[in-house]
């Protein structure tokens, strides 16, 4: 049993270190109707700007309709000097803002706030409005505000709601808004206003604002289809913070959580945390750790801020705040790697618990759910504290009682566009426990809270997708299966991160276009180390085959084929009867297919069935499957796979690639190295699969049978191997005696062995250098190659190509001339973006012709002709709008033609 003397650990996953209470930040404000300020409320008959709408009847003597519409005074009068309120002197906790006002010659009174149009929304009794104990409560929604300085825009924001309430027996109206983030809107204002706006944001330091004030009747107004009144704003305070809901989980109440190691004889797989840190964590209700019906992680307490609707709804439905509880599902330390999952910082031990699934319950009824991917636990002197990642809260109350459903809706209303973090500031060890293969300890939460924050992220529940995903809204967290319907396109821009939070799949019936760049790859991965996602599926039977899905400069990680039928194959891509797919310059790593179904699990990264995509310049590493560790090609699939690197993949049948059932295709200039399997360390052939395999390096792979290549005796295959470097040669094949085998090598390719491209050729001494298909060969297919090799070098040099995925010669990226030749010809810059310069020496005066061709021999720009004198000539040529790629620049002079490769950026 581990020692738990200092280990208070295994904190569940909702936690965030929160410092001691900050000094109160507050600004006073006021808005009098007599000064053109205050708020307006009105009903409308539809003859004016607003649709006809009348608020609910307030069921109290002396009250009639609650006004449906609301705004600040200026919205009605259209007088730009009017507003809702202005700031007052005497603010607290805004030193930078106060100083900036003074430094730039302004006073607080010059700061005014205006409201846009807001409404009572659906105005549903018991949800949007209440009457309870002589108090009338009403919510106005989507309260946009603008903060101006001396009439100029400075800051803006939106309160999800403003709760307006009054004791109908006596007293004034009171208003409390939701917390709202403040954004900068002074970019077109004067430098002085910009300075003050930035100072306000600096004082906020990422926190949000909430407005509280009283209102008294000012005067009535009518006209333009409106019937309403103006109200004064009195005793207003702008306060700073975030929505917070305190919670506690004491063992005496059957609350708290357990942490344990498992020996594998119980419900959990073997797991032993590092040092004294326990591997698994869950709340006490998990698997009857505490069989008491009340067992859970904790309950919520009084003292919240920003949860006005939740507190009101609980009271209205006859609940207490302590009836709202929450539970934590099973989480763990994941890979538990030092430096990534745990470590020491400033002398304190920290560790991460992953996949923290939290369910909120009201009197035992599940109403809300939230997943927080990561929870960081930190050891303090006498306790532990923790900080969680963000989570989006989803409503699961559809089967709960009506009262519980209304509480769930009110909770979501209070959260609005916030995401939730949870924190604990005091977690204590309670006692040891063991049994059922577990050895661990119980802990309790003496103090904690959930906190609403705004953070750049987008959560996508199950549904259909289209439109554009941008870095401004990234990362995108996927919380359910997704479908791109026929005729729809999902475009993903460079730099976007797509993080899938469960075994969810993208079913593409329309099209995905995901084009990253060298500088900004697009990432597809799981959201935490305890999860796998289910990849991207294409099915020609249901897809719009007239459009091509295109992926460029993407990273695909931790895909796991988990579907039924053919979808138990292809950790990232599963394509059936679908060929309109291109994948370029992308990386596939740590993807898996190992679930038996109607088919054996095939294609750790990609599985193809009667599908023939283009796959170029990609890297496949550490992928795993039963058939085809990286790629499985099945049933008349004929892919073009060129310039790709395959290493450290594993497949029981085909460490890198398995070809099955009449699958042909073309495999050009790939490198297969250090893959492993049971049969065929690199490639496995079965049943009449006859691809062309050209210019590949197949070296250093291992298997029980056929280290490099394996052919089954059943349904013989007859592929062609041309200009490859294959360890062991044809004699090393397992079977395959009738293959077409021409111009191949069996010589150590001399890989670089280190650096960013360890499988690049070490130099001209490599037998693969300039040993690929010559341009006179029947197997010379430059049209099937990308312009650059896997490391960015020009793919073909001196009309001869290297074998493998890397080209040794003609490195790109130089800003100085690179194409100096014995003919006295110089082309620069190369690569070029605009104009190119050509220096050459003529022995006699005459005409010089400059032509540009693509690699297929097509003229792509009008020829440039120039009469030149004898001697050194400095010519120029502007290729115009040529696409990025590699071209042949042909210069004809003095009866001879010189051709050089030009890279166009």
- Specify the pLDDT at position 440: 98
- Specify the pLDDT at position 21: 34
Matching residue, tokens 């000012």: 218
Strands (E) located in 454-580: 458-464, 467-469, 476-484, 489-492, 497-500, 506-508, 511-515, 522-526, 536-539, 549-552, 554-557, 573-576
Per residue in 322-371, pLDDT (tens digit) is 999 999 999 999 999 999 999 998 889 999 999 999 999 999 999 999 99
Predicted TM-score (pTM) of this structure: 0.88
- Specify the pLDDT at position 3: 37
Least confident of 491-495, 548-552, 813-817, 874-878: 813-817
Q: Helix (H, G, I), strand (E, B), or coil: what is residue 272?
A: coil
pLDDT at 131 over 80: yes
| Strands 606-609 and 846-853, sheet pairing | unpaired
Q: Which helix (H) or strand (E) holds 100?
A: helix 95-103
- Specify the pLDDT at position 12: 28
Strands (E) located in 640-789: 640-642, 645-647, 650-653, 657-660, 666-668, 671-673, 676-679, 683-686, 692-694, 697-699, 702-705, 709-711, 720-722, 725-726, 740-742
pLDDT, average across residues 527-549 = 91
Q: Closest Cα partner for 312 from 209, 419, 414?
A: 414
DSSP 389: P
pLDDT at 877 over 70: yes
The 489-492 sheet, strands edge to edge: 467-469, 489-492, 511-515, 549-552, 581-584, 614-616, 640-642, 666-668, 692-694, 720-722, 740-742
pLDDT, average across residues 765-774 = 94
- Specify the pLDDT at position 22: 40
| C-alpha distance from residue 134 to each of 86, 193, 516 (Å) | 32, 45, 60
Q: Closest Cα partner for 118 from 155, 176, 78, 160?
A: 160
Burial class, 437, CB count within 10 angstroms (exposed 0-12 / middle 13-18 / buried 19+): middle
Matching residue, tokens 């929160």: 18
- Specify the pLDDT at position 824: 56
Domain borders along the chain are: 26-241, 244-453, 562-579+592-811, 825-904
Whether residue 405 has a cis bond before it, omega within 30° of 0: no
The pLDDT > 90 percentage for the chain reads: 81
Q: Rounded to whole angstroms, how far apart are CA atoms 129 and 808?
A: 73
pLDDT at 20 over 60: no
pLDDT at 446 over 90: yes
Q: Rounded to whole angstroms, how far apart are CA atoms 766 and 756?
A: 18
Buried b (16+ CB within 10 A) or exposed e, 225-235: bbebbbbbbbe
Q: Rounded to whole angstroms, how far apart are CA atoms 766 and 515?
A: 34
Strands (E) located in 536-605: 536-539, 549-552, 554-557, 573-576, 581-584, 587-589, 592-593
Whether residue 581 has a cis bond before it, omega within 30° of 0: no
What lies within 8 Å, CB to CB, of 157 at 6+ separation is 144, 145, 180, 181, 182, 183, 209
Q: Rounded to whole angstroms, how far apart are CA atoms 673 and 656?
A: 9
- Specify the pLDDT at position 856: 64
Which two three-digit tokens encode residue 321? 């705040």
DSSP 68-83: SEEEEHHHHH--TT--
Per residue in 255-276, pLDDT (tens digit) is 999 999 999 999 999 999 999 9
Q: Helix (H, G, I), strand (E, B), or coil: what is residue 322?
A: helix
- Specify the pLDDT at position 770: 92
DSSP 525: E
- Specify the pLDDT at position 655: 98
Longest dimension (CA), the chain: 109
- Specify the pLDDT at position 24: 84
Contact 225, 195 (CB under 8 A): no
What lies within 8 Å, CB to CB, of 495 at 6+ separation is 471, 474, 516, 520, 521, 522
Matching residue, tokens 């004067």: 190
- Specify the pLDDT at position 651: 98
pLDDT at 885 over 80: no
Q: 890 or 451: which carries more pLDDT confidence?
A: 451
Average pLDDT in the chain: 92
pLDDT band at 820 (very low <50, low <70, confident <90, very high): very low
Which two three-digit tokens encode residue 674? 């250090």
Burial class, 885, CB count within 10 angstroms (exposed 0-12 / middle 13-18 / buried 19+): middle
- Specify the pLDDT at position 15: 28
pLDDT at 836 over 90: no
| Strands 702-705 and 676-679, sheet pairing | parallel
pLDDT, average across residues 802-826 = 57
Least confident of 31-45, 377-391, 527-541, 869-883: 869-883
pLDDT at 903 over 80: no
Least confident of 239-253, 643-657, 883-897: 883-897
pLDDT at 4 over 60: no
- Specify the pLDDT at position 798: 58
Q: Which CATH fold would you assign to the domain 825-904?
A: Immunoglobulin-like (2.60.40)
pLDDT, average across residues 146-172 = 96
Per residue in 61-111, pLDDT (tens digit) is 989 899 999 999 999 999 999 999 999 999 999 999 999 999 999 999 999
Per-residue HEC secondary structure of 630-674 comes to CEEEECCCCCEEECCEEECCEEEECCCEEEECCCCCEEECCEEEC
Contact 443, 256 (CB under 8 A): yes
pLDDT band at 900 (very low <50, low <70, confident <90, very high): confident
pLDDT at 815 over 60: no
């Amino acid at each position: 049993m581990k020692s738990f003397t200092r280990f208070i650990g295994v904190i569940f996953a909702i936690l965030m270190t929160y410092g001691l209470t900050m000094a109160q930040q507050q600004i006073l404000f006021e808005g009098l109707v007599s000064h053109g300020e205050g708020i307006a409320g009105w009903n409308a008959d539809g003859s004016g700007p607003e649709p006809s709408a009348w608020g609910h009847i307030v069921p109290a003597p002396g009250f009639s309709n609650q006004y449906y519409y609301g705004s600040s005074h200026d919205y009605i009068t259209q007088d730009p000097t009017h507003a809702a309120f202005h700031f007052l002197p005497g603010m607290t906790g805004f030193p930078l803002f106060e100083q900036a006002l003074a430094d730039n010659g302004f006073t607080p009174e010059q700061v005014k706030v205006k409201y846009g149009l807001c409404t009572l929304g659906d105005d549903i009794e018991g949800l949007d409005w209440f009457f309870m104990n002589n108090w009338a409560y009403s919510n106005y929604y989507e309260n946009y505000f603008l903060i101006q300085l001396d009439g100029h825009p400075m800051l803006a924001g939106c309160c999800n709601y403003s709760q307006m309430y009054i004791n109908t027996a006596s007293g004034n109206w009171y208003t409390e808004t939701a917390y709202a983030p403040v954004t900068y809107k002074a970019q077109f204002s004067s430098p002085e206003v910009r300075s003050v706006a930035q100072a306000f944001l600096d004082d906020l330091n990422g926190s949000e604002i909430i407005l509280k004030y009283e209102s008294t009747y000012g005067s009535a107004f009518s006209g333009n289809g409106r019937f309403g009144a103006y109200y004064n704003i009195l005793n207003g305070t702008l306060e700073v913070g975030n929505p917070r809901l305190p919670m506690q989980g004491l063992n005496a109440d059957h609350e708290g959580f357990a942490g344990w190691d498992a020996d594998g004889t119980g419900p959990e797989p073997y797991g032993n945390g590092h040092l004294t840190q326990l591997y698994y964590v869950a709340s006490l209700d998990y698997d009857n750790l505490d069989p008491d019906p009340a067992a859970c992680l904790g309950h919520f307490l009084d003292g919240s801020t920003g949860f006005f609707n939740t507190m009101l709804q609980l009271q209205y439905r006859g609940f207490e705040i302590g009836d709202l509880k929450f539970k934590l599902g099973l989480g763990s330390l994941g890979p538990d790697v030092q430096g990534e999952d745990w470590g020491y910082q400033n002398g304190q031990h920290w560790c991460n618990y992953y996949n923290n699934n939290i369910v909120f319950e009201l009197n035992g009824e599940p109403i809300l759910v939230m997943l927080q991917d990561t929870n960081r636990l930190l050891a303090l002197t006498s306790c532990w504290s923790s900080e969680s990642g963000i989570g989006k809260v989803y409503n699961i109350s559809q089967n709960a009682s009506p009262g519980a459903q209304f509480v769930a809706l009110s909770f979501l209303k209070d959260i609005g566009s916030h995401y939730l973090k949870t924190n604990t500031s005091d977690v204590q060890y309670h006692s040891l426990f063991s049994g059922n293969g577990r050895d661990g300890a119980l802990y309790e939460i003496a103090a904690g809270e959930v906190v609403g924050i705004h953070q750049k992220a987008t959560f996508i529940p199950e549904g259909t997708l289209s439109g554009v995903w941008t870095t401004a809204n990234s990362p995108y967290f996927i919380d359910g299966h997704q479908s791109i319907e026929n005729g729809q396109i999902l475009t993903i821009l460079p730099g976007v991160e797509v993080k899938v939070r469960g075994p969810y799949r993208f079913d593409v019936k329309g099209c995905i276009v995901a084009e990253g760049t060298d500088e900004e790859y697009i990432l597809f991965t799981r959201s935490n180390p305890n999860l796998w996602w289910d990849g991207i599926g294409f099915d020609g039977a249901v897809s719009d085959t007239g459009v091509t899905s295109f992926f460029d400069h993407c990273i695909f990680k931790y895909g796991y084929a988990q579907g039924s039928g053919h979808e138990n194959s292809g950790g990232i891509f599963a394509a059936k009867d679908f060929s309109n797919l291109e994948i370029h310059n992308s990386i596939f790593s740590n993807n898996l297919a190992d679930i038996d179904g109607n088919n054996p699990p095939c294609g750790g990264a990609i599985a193809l069935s009667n599908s023939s995509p283009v796959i170029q310049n990609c890297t496949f590493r550490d992928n795993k499957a039963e058939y085809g560790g990286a790629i499985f090609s099945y049933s008349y699939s004929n892919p073009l796979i060129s310039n790709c690197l395959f290493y450290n993949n594993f497949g029981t049948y085909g460490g890198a690639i398995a070809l099955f059932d009449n699958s042909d295709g073309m495999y050009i200039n790939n490198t297969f190295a250090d893959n492993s399997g049971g049969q065929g360390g690199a490639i496995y052939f079965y049943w009449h699969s006859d691809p062309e395999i050209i210019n590949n390096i197949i070296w250093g792979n291992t298997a029980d049978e056929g280290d490099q290549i394996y052919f089954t005796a059943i349904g013989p295959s007859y592929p062609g191997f041309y200009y490859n470097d294959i360890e062991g040669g044809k004699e090393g094949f397992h079977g395959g005696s009738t293959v077409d085998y021409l111009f191949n090598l069996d010589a150590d390719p001399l890989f670089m062995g280190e650096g960013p491209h360890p499988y690049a050729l070490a130099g001209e001494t490599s037998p693969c250098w300039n040993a690929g298909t010559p341009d006179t060969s029947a197997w010379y297919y430059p049209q099937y190659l990308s312009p650059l090799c896997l490391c960015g070098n020009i793919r073909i040099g001196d009309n001869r190509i290297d074998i493998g995925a890397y080209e040794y010669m003609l490195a790109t990226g130089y800003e100085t001339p690179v194409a100096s030749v014995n003919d006295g010809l110089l082309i620069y810059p190369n690569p070029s973006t605009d104009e190119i310069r050509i220096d050459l020496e003529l022995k006699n005066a005459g005409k010089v012709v400059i032509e540009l061709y693509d690699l297929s021999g097509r003229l792509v720009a009008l020829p440039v002709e120039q009469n030149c004198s004898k001697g050194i000539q400095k010519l120029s040529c502007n290729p115009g709008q040529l696409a990025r790629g590699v071209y042949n620049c042909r210069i004809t002079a003095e009866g001879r033609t010189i051709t050089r490769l030009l890279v166009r950026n």
